[in-house]
Amino acid sequence: MAISASDMTPQALAALLSFYADSGVEELCEDAAIDRFEQSAAQSRAKSRPQAAAAPADSGQASGHPAASPQAERPRAAATAAPMTPAPQASQLTIPGEAAFEDARALAAGATTIAELRAALDGFTGCNLRHSAKTLVFADGNPQARVMFIGEAPGREEDIQGAPFVGRAGQLLDRMLGAIGLDRDTAYITNMIPWRPPGNRTPAPHEIELCRPFIERHVALAAPKIVVMLGNVASKSLLGTDKGILSLRGTWMDFQAGEVRIPALPTLHPAYLLRNPAQKRLVWADLLSLQARIEQLDAG
C-alpha cells in the first residue's frame, strides 16, 4: 500500500518525517523526476479552459484534442511502485535495544540452510531499515559457487528489483567478474546489509551490528572457498579492522565463518570506481590476484 500524505493525520505525518530524519534522509524526492513546468502549464491550461469544455463531456472529442484523463495529468511518480512494507508504527522506530541484537543472533544461528536464513531475515523486525526499504535484497548468483562477493547495502535499483548489484555499480561488477572469467553462475553475490538505507546513506554502526550475525551465518552456510569484500563497510566490519579500504585492499586475510576460516580479499567497491575510474588499475591487480587463487583451487 502506498503511503500518501493526504491519508495521514498531521501527527502521523510528523512522526513519519521525523523517522526519515532519524534514519538519515537528508533530501526528499520522488523516485521519478516530475516535470513541474509541465504541471503548472497544465494547471494554467485547465484554468483558462471554458467551464463547458471542462465539464464531464471533456473527453477531448468536442475540442478535437485527445482526452486528458485525470491519470494523464498526475505526476508519473505517483504511479510508480508502492512500498511493500507497511507504514512504520511509532513503536517500531526506536534505536534497537539488546533484545534486537539477541534476536538477530538467535535467528541467524537457528538457520540451517540458506533458504531458512532468508526466511529468518524476512521475519526479523529489529532493524529499522526494513521499514523504509521496499524489499529484502538477499542474494544473487550461485550459492554453491566457490567465490562469494559481499557488498555494502542495496541501492535504489536493487531495492526495486529485490536483487543485489543490478544497478550501475552492479553492471560494473559484472564486467569485473567477466574480466577474470566469472559470472553470476560461478559467483555468489550478497551484501552486508539486506535493506536499502534511506537515500543510500552509509549504514549506521548499530545497523551493521544487527545484520552481522546474518551475513556471518550466510557465509558459513554458503561455505565458499574465497570471500571478496567490496568496499569499506563490508571489509572493515567483517574483517574487524579500523584500516581504510585503500590500505586493506589487495591483501589476503582470513575471514572466520563459524568454525571455518576462509581466505578473504578486500577490494574497492564498484560504486567507488564509477566515481574514481582511475582507481580501476588497483582493482585490476586485485582481480588478477583473485584469479590466481582460483587457479590454485583448480590445480589443487
- Of the pair 63, 279, the CB lying nearest ligand URA is at 279
| 201, 153 contact by CB (below 8 A) | no
Site for ligand URA in 270-299 (CB under 6 A): 271
Nearer CB in complex with ligand URA: 192/262: 192
The reply on whether position 228 binds ligand URA by CB under 6 A is no
Q: If binding is defined by CB under 6 A, does position 140 make contact with ligand URA?
A: no
Site for ligand URA in 103-122 (CB under 6 A): none
Q: Which of 127, 130, 158, 213 binds ligand URA (CB under 6 A)?
A: 158
Long-range pairs, 20-28, Cβ under 8 A, ≥24: 20/132, 20/198, 22/93, 23/128, 23/129, 23/132, 23/197, 23/198, 23/201, 24/197, 24/198, 24/199, 24/201, 24/204, 25/132, 25/198, 25/199, 25/201, 26/199, 26/201, 27/199
Q: How many residues does the chain have?
A: 300
33 Cβ contact list (under 8 Å, min separation 6): 76, 77
Q: How far apart are CA 121 and CA 25, in angstroms?
A: 24
137 or 220: CB nearest ligand URA: 137
Q: Are 113 and 221 in contact (CB under 8 A)?
A: yes
* Of 12 and 274, CB closest to ligand URA: 274
CA distances from 47 to 28, 34, 40, 58 (A): 29, 21, 10, 14
Question: Applying CB under 6 A, which part among 54-62, 154-162, 217-225, 258-266 lies near ligand URA?
Answer: 154-162
Output the nine-digit C-alpha cell for 115: 533458504
Shortest reach from residue 194's CB to ligand URA, in Å: 9
CB of residue 231 to ligand URA, shortest distance in Å: 6
Which grid coordinates belong to 35? Answer: 516535470
Binding mask 163-202 toward ligand URA (x if CB under 6 A, else -) reads -xx-x-xx--------------------x-----------
Grid cell at residue 163: 536483487
Residue 154 binding ligand URA, by CB under 6 A: yes
Which of 23, 88, 148, 151: binder of ligand URA (CB under 6 A)? 151
Closest to ligand URA by CB, 103 or 158 = 158
Residue with CB nearest ligand URA?
A: 151
Instruction: By CB under 6 A, name the binding residues for ligand URA.
Output: 151-155, 158, 164-165, 167, 169-170, 191, 271
